[in-house]
Structures are given as structure tokens and as C-alpha cells.
């Protein structure tokens, strides 16, 4: 399986073009991230086609960010799905990754996978395995029809389930800040569960402006099943409508927060 | 500001509850005017009822979030 990927990685590793290849490995029936450094190991490579998303994806872009920081001068390869590549592009736009030091090898997601993730872009720019499937992107349009009272009631009840595990932030490929506002005592009171409502969730939502690539890992990770993705999708929609910007599409385009733009009409 | 207003609307909080005005320290009367106007606006909107004990999550809305 995935022979074309394995061949390519072997070639890259043996010619020394990359120092390591970051991908997934199947061990004891579970996948885990693994840095392949020798061409001999590559046979263990897995692209993680599990039934559930947690057995398919990993925030590889986040791990790559740390690898690049800690091993200056070295180059790395990485296995990318559509979401991983969007994360890489967004991280490049935010100056967290030097794209010259990264070689991406793409996988297009299967139709089942793309549907399970409700993915808007289930393939990277180029891929060696898989086929392009038509994206499905159910944006939260039905929300507009609900009354503010209903929406308030809904989100209040959802936010209240939060156990403040920080899982959403920890898994997020775009959460690269060294100091996090969610750990600041000015914003979030220590030792209280649920965290300050709705500050905790709104702070995170606002910090997703120009960052969120809609990979959905946060919602997968959330032990309280808060529909975080619907919230961040809304943020993305607002940013797209007001500033015509979508994160993770063009790695040379900076987020609207970094540009002096005309103020949108009617603030 | 623009994004936060839209986001507040999305979770069901009136955007008018948020206001940003730049007032110089030399503009005392204007400051008083702005604050009075905003206070009146909030008073007209009434309490937010954020801490009201809500019923169980609305399953229909939950399905829409998927």
C-alpha cells in the first residue's frame, strides 16, 4: 500500500534531500506520529485510514513547527492531507515555518473520509495517492434562522459543558503562541470549571481570525463534544465576508490583522 | 471589533452591547455624552439573562451544528 509515497520518501531520505520524514505509523492497532529518518523504516508508514478520524489524522503541521524550530538548518518531509497543507500554508503566512525547509508529500482523502470530516477541501495541491473527491461544505447557514434567544440558549448550554482541558488549543495546528491568553489570569480565572463564560470560548474564537484552516481537530479532541467547529466556521465566514480572506489558501498572503485595510462598512 | 460584533450576534448577544469610541482626554463633555448614550442603550436592551438556568441543549440546534 501507498508504494508511490514510500518510493518517493526513500528517494528523498537516501539522497539526503531531507533529514527526516514526518508521517504516521501504525503501532498496536493505533496510529501515532513518527519521524522516519532511515529509508529502511519506511515500510512501516501508514496514512492512517481508520474508521474514525482520530485514527486517521494528527496535527502533523504542529509537530513540524517544533521540529523546524529545534533543528535549525535541517530539512523535513511531511505527509499532508488537504487540512495539513492548509495548516502549513497558514503557518508559513504567520512566519512560523520556513517553507524552503519543508517537502510535502500529498494524500487525497477518500470520499468516506471527506464526508466524515465534512471537509471543504479534502485534497492538497498535489498528491501521490488517492483521488480528488468533490468537497462538501455544510456551512452553518441554518443558524441565521434561529432567534437570538435560541442561539444564546444553545451556546450557553454548550459552553457550560467545558471542562477547560485545553484540548482544543493543544491540538490546534495554528495555536503556536508561546504565551496563551487562555492562561492569563486577567481573562480566565484559575481553578474554575466551567471557565469564564463566554470569555474563554470567545477569546479562542477571536484568536482564530486569519488562522483557522477548518481542519476540525478541535472538535474531534473535545471530550465535552462542544460544536467548536461551527463556532470557528462562523469566524471564518465573517473574516471571508468582511475582509475577503481565507486562511491556508495562499501562503504569501498575510492575515487581515497584519494589514492596514479599509474599515469594513458599518462597525 | 467588526468580527467580535458579528460573533456576538452569532451566539445570540446583541452587537449593540459592544461599543468602541475614541475620545481624547480633552473632550470631557463628549465622553460624558457617549457614556450616557451607551448606558441608555443598554438599559433599553435590558438584562442579558446569561446566567438564567437554561433547559437541556436543544437537540435540533445541535444537529444543525454538525
Neighbours of A55 (CB within 10 A): 16
* Per-residue pLDDT at A208: 92
Tell me how far apart the alpha carbons of residues A247 and A44 are, in angstroms, rounded to a whole number. Answer: 33
Return the C-alpha torsion angle A124, A11, A101, A110, nearest 10: 20
Q: How close B59 comes to chain A (CA, Å)?
A: 9
Query: What pLDDT, on a 0 to 100 scale, did the predictor assign at position A87?
Result: 93
Tell me if A235 and B54 make a contact (CB, 8 A cut-off): no
Prior bond to A21 cis, omega within 30? no
Q: Is the pLDDT of residue B39 over 90?
A: yes
Nearest-angstrom CA–CA distance, A169 and A163? 13
pLDDT of residue B56: 47
Q: pLDDT at position A249, please?
A: 86
pTM of the model: 0.83
ipTM for the predicted complex comes to 0.74
CB contact A224 to B (< 8 Å): no
pLDDT of residue B66: 53
| Structure confidence at residue A199 (pLDDT) | 87
Contacts of B57 in chain A (CB under 8 A): 154, 157-158
Provide the CA A149 distance to its chain's centre, in angstroms.
31
* Contacts of A53 by beta carbon, 8 Å cutoff, 6+ apart: A113, A116, A117, A216, A220
Query: To probe the interface with A, which of B1, B3, B21, B46 has the most A CB atoms within 10 Å?
Result: B3
Residue B58 has pLDDT above 60, yes or no: no
> From the candidates B4, B6, B8, B11, which should be mutated to test the interface with A, based on the most A CB atoms within 10 A?
B11
CA-based nearest distance A265→chain B, Å: 9
pLDDT at A172: 94
Which run of H or of E encompasses A21? strand A20-27
Decide if A261 touches B, using CB distance below 8 A: no
CB contact under 8 A, B11 and A209: no
pLDDT < 70 stretches in chain A? 1, 49-54, 137-144, 261-267
> For position A245, what pLDDT does the model report?
86
Give pLDDT, residue A265: 62
- Of the candidates A118, A140, A206, the beta carbon closest to that of B64 is on A140
Cβ contact A155–B6 (<8 Å): no
**In chain A, residues 102-121 whose CB comes closer than 8 Å to chain B:** 118
Amino acid at each position: 500500500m501507498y508504494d508511490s509515497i514510500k518510493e518517493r520518501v526513500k528517494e528523498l531520505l537516501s539522497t539526503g534531500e531531507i533529514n527526516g520524514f514526518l508521517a504516521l505509523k501504525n503501532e498496536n492497532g493505533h496510529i501515532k506520529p513518527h519521524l522516519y529518518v532511515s529509508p529502511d523504516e519506511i515500510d512501516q508508514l501508514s496514512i492512517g485510514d481508520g474508521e474514525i478520524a482520530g485514527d486517521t489524522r494528527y496535527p502533523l503541521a504542529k509537530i513540524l513547527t517544533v521540529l523546524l524550530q529545534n533543528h535549525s538548518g535541517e530539512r523535513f518531509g511531511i505527509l499532508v492531507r488537504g487540512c495539513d497543507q492548509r495548516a502549513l500554508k497558514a503557518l508559513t503566512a504567520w512566519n512560523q515555518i520556513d517553507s524552503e525547509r519543508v517537502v510535502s508529500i500529498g494524500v487525497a482523502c477518500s470520499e468516506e473520509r471527506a464526508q466524515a470530516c465534512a471537509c471543504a477541501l479534502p485534497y492538497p495541491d498535489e498528491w501521490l495517492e488517492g483521488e480528488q473527491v468533490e468537497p462538501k461544505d455544510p456551512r452553518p447557514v441554518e443558524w441565521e434562522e434561529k432567534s437570538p434567544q435560541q442561539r444564546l440558549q444553545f451556546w450557553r448550554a454548550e459552553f457550560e459543558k467545558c471542562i477547560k482541558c485545553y484540548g482544543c488549543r493543544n491540538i490546534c495546528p495554528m495555536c503556536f503562541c508561546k504565551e496563551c491568553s487562555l492562561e492569563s489570569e486577567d481573562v480566565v480565572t484559575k481553578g474554575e470549571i466551567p471557565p469564564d463564560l463566554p470569555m474563554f470560548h470567545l477569546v479562542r474564537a477571536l484568536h482564530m481570525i486569519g488562522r483557522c484552516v477548518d481542519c476540525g481537530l478541535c472538535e474531534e479532541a473535545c471530550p465535552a463534544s462542544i460544536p467548536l467547529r461551527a463556532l470557528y466556521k462562523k469566524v471564518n465566514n465573517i473574516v471571508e465576508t468582511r475582509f475577503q480572506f481565507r486562511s491556508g489558501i495562499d501562503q504569501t498572503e498575510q492575515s487581515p490583522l497584519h494589514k492596514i485595510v479599509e474599515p469594513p462598512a458599518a462597525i | 471589533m467588526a468580527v467580535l460584533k458579528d460573533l456576538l450576534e452569532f451566539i445570540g448577544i446583541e452587537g449593540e452591547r459592544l461599543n468602541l469610541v475614541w475620545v481624547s482626554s480633552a473632550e470631557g463633555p463628549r465622553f460624558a455624552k457617549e457614556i450616557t448614550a451607551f448606558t441608555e442603550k443598554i438599559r433599553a436592551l435590558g438584562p442579558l439573562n446569561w446566567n438564567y438556568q437554561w433547559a437541556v441543549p436543544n437537540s435540533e440546534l445541535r444537529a444543525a451544528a454538525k
